[in-house]
Amino acid sequence: MIFVFAFQSFVIPVNVRVIDVNDNSPIWISAPYIVTLSEVTVSGTRILQGAHAEDADQPGPFSTVEYQILPGPYSDFVQFLNPLEGTLVLKKSLDYETMQNFTVKLRAQDQGSPPKYTDTTLRVVITDADDQNPKFQYNSYTGELPSDGRPGDLRLRPEPIKAVDQDEGICAPIQYTIVQSQDTTYFRINPHSGIITLLTPIGYADLVNGATLVVKATQIDNADRYALTTVMLTRQGVRSDFSALSFVQQKFFMRIREDTPVGNRILALPTNKPGKHLKYTILDPVNSQFFSVGSLGEVILVKPLDYEKMTKHNFQVMATDGLTNITSDITMEVIDVNDWEPRFRETHYEFVIPKNQALHSSSESLEGVIVGKVEAADGDRNDKLELSLKGQHASLFEIDTKGCIYMRPEELKGLNESTVHLVATATDSGIPPRSTSVPVTVTMERLAIAQTSWSTSFIGMLGIIISVFIIIIIILTCYIIHSKSKRRKGTPPLGRNRVHSHAHSTMSSANLVTHEKISNNGTGTVVTSGNSGVSVLHMKHDGNISMSNPISSGLNHSAIGKGLASNLEHEAKGDQECDRERQRESYAATVR
C-alpha cells in the first residue's frame, strides 16, 4: 500500500549581505597624460583637470581615491589642487629658455589597509612665450652732431642701434621710437632700422651742450614689452654752455605690472648734460628699496612689487654733477596681477548633525538645514570669491557666498550612508582665475542610528523566521507520525482459511468455530477450536493435512452445548484480539 502526503509550500525570504574587501587597485583613465604649457603660465593655474582614476570596489574607503605627486627632480613644479580631486595646478614658474619639457610621476591610492595604488606619468611640454622684453645690444650709445649743423643721419658708437626680442621661439619684430623731451623736435628715428636722423639745421646757439635722447624699442605685437636705451650726442667745435644742470622734464610717469622681474630697466631720466659724471640718488628711503638709478639715469627695479601692499610709488630723484643738484618727481603706478590664490581658514572641515536636530527644512529658512560654515579669503585686493561643492553626494547640499553649507532633506531618501565626503572649492575672479579646495566631512547621527536600528531589527526578524521554520518542521513531523498510527488502527485483519469438520457432528456452525488457537510444534501447524467437539486441523510441512473430530467420542451434545458455546465465545474474543495485534505488528514490520 502506498501513502501520499500533501503539504502546503511556503517561501522564506533570505537576505545575504556581502562584505566588500579591498581587492581592486585604482585604474587611471586615459593615462599617461601629456600637456602643453606656455612658459608664461601663471603659478596656480589649473593645467590638467582630466586626471582621474577609478576603483572597482564598493563605495566607501576602498573606492575613495587619493592623488599625490611622487618625489622627483621636477615634483615641485606641479601639485594636486586637492588630494581627493584629480586637478593639477602649476606650482612654479616655467622658463622655456632653460627647460623645454619635464616629466613627473602621479600616484592614485585608495584608503584601504594596506592601500592599493597605481602610478602613471605626466609629461609637460613647454612652449616659448612672450615673457621677455626686447634688449638693446648696448645700454647706451654715443654720437656727434655735425659741426656745420646740416641735417642727415647720425653715426653712433659702438655700432648702430639694434634691439632684439629675447624670446627665441617668437622673435617678435621691434619698433623704435624716441621718448618725448625738449630735444626730440630736432630728431627722427626710423621705426624699423633704428637710424637717427637730424631733421632741421641747427644754429651756433642751438644744442650747445649736445642732446640726450631716450630710445624705446617696443614689440609690435605686444606694447607691454619694451626696452630703453640712451643716446648721448655732443657737438664739436662749439664753445660749451655753462648753464645749470637740469632734467629734460620735471615729472616722469610710468605704469608697471606687479609681476615685472627684478633687474628690468623701467624708465630713463635724461638730463641736459648727459654723461657718466652724473650721480643719481632716490631721496625716499622706502622707495629706494624697490628702485635704483644707474649712471646713465635709467631706473631699475631691485625688489618685487606688490599691488596689494602699495598701488603707487611716488618719490624724487636727485642728480648732481658736483656743482649743481637737481630733482625730478617720479610716479610709478602698479598694475594688479592675479598672483594670490584663495585660502581657507582650515585645511579640513568636519561637521556633525546631532541626532536631536530634525532633518527637515524650517519655514524660516528656504535653503534647508544648516550644516556649518567654511571661511575663505583671497590676498588680491579686488578679487571676489565664488564657492562651490563637489563630490558624489554634492547634490544634497548647497553653499552660499558667505560659506554657509545647507542640506536639502528632501534629497536624503536615496542616501544609505551616515557620513558624506565633499570637496569645497573657492575660485577667485582674477585673470587667470585661481582656486583652492579643502575636504569637508558631514556626519548625520540620526541616519547612523536608523541604520543601526535597522540592522538590529533585521537580525531579530531573521531569528523569528528561523524559529517559525523549526516549529513548522516539528509540527509536520508529529502530524506524519500521528497519521501513520491512525492508519494502522483502521486496517482490517488479513483473511484466514478456516477448516471445520461437519461429518460427525450435528452442532450449528455458530457454535462450532468461534475460537482458534495456533501452535507450532516444529513439525507442522495445529489449529484447535475450543476444548472439545471441534475439529483439529494438522498442517504438516510436507503439505499433508489431517483432521480429527473429538466430538465423535460419544459426549452428550445437549449437556455441553450451552457451556461450550459460552466458553468458546469468550475465548474466541480474547484470541481474536491477540491475533489482530500480531497481524498489526507483522504489517508494521512489512511497511517499514
- Cα(196)–Cα(157) distance, rounded to whole angstroms? 12
Give the per-residue pLDDT at 9: 75
> Which helix (H) or strand (E) covers residue 510, if one does?
helix 509-512
- The residue with cell 557666498 is 401
157 lies in the same domain as 305:
yes
Phi, psi of 411 (to 5 degrees): -95, 0
Tell me whether strands 46-48 and 140-145 are parallel, antiparallel or unpaired: unpaired
Q: Which of 132, 134, 140 is nearest to 268 (CA)?
A: 140
How high is the pLDDT of residue 122?
93
149: closest CA among 109, 97, 95, 203? 203
Query: Are 70 and 151 in the same domain?
Result: no
13 within some domain: no
**Which residues are 292's β-sheet partners?**
300
Task: Give the DSSP H/E element, type plus range, for residue 465.
Answer: helix 445-489
For residue 500, being part of any structural domain is answered with: no
Q: Measured between alpha carbons, how far is 432 from 35 in angstroms, rounded to an integer?
A: 18
**pLDDT on residue 356:** 64
Total structural domains within the chain: 4
Residues (pLDDT < 70) of the chain are 1-8, 204-205, 237-243, 355-368, 410-416, 446-458, 487-572, 583, 586-592
Does 172 share its domain with 284?
yes
Residues 279 and 348 in one domain: no
Give the model's pLDDT for residue 243: 62
Question: Are 122 and 141 members of one domain?
Answer: no
210 and 259 in a common domain: yes
pLDDT at 117: 92
pLDDT of residue 291: 93
| Whether residues 349 and 446 fall in one domain | yes
In a domain, 147, yes or no: yes
> What residue type is assigned to position 116 of the chain?
K
Q: Cβ–Cβ contacts within 10 Å for residue 483, how many?
A: 12
Domain end (from 127, 145, 177): 127
In this structure, the answer to whether residues 145 and 271 fall within a common structural domain is yes
Select from 83, 106, 127 the last residue of a domain.
127
Among candidates 213, 220, 222, 227, which has minimal Cα distance to 135? 227
pLDDT value, residue 104: 94
Q: Which residue has the cell 649743423?
A: 149
| Sole residue written with cell 469438520 | 501
Residue 179 included in any domain: yes
How far is residue 376's CA from residue 349's CA, in Å, rounded to a whole number?
A: 12
Task: Classify 582 in phi/psi space as left (phi over 0), alpha (psi -120 to 50) or beta.
Answer: alpha
Same domain membership, residue 533 and residue 459: no
Final residue before a domain boundary, out of 127, 160, 184: 127
Q: At what angle do helices 445-489 and 557-591 cross, to 10 degrees?
A: 150
pLDDT (0 to 100) of residue 330: 92
Eight-state DSSP code of residue 17: P
Burial (CB count <10 Å: 0-12, 13-18, 19+), residue 187: buried
Q: Specify whether 232 is located in the same domain as 275.
A: yes
Domain assignment present for residue 22? The answer is no
Tell me the CB-side half-sphere exposure of residue 416, using CA atoms within 13 A.
6
Report if residue 20 sits inside a domain: no
CA dist., res. 430 & res. 425, Å (int): 15
CATH of residue 459: 2.60.40.60
Cell reading at 233: 650726442
93 and 66 in one domain? yes
Classify residue 1: in a domain, yes or no: no
Distant-in-sequence, close-in-space partners of 434: CB < 8 Å, separation ≥ 6: 44, 45, 338, 340, 341, 342, 427, 428
Any domain includes 346: yes
Q: State which amino acid sits at residue 237.
A: G
Do 377 and 473 have their domain in common?
yes
pTM of the model: 0.42
- Rg (C-alpha) for the chain, rounded Å, is 58
d(CA 194, CA 177): 8
What residue numbers bound the domain in which 551 lies?
Answer: 509-591
pLDDT of amino acid 443? 86
Listing DSSP states for 323-365 in one string gives S-EEEEEEEEEEEP------EES-S-EEEEE-TTS-SS--TT-
Q: Give CA–CA dist 69/478, Å, rounded.
A: 72
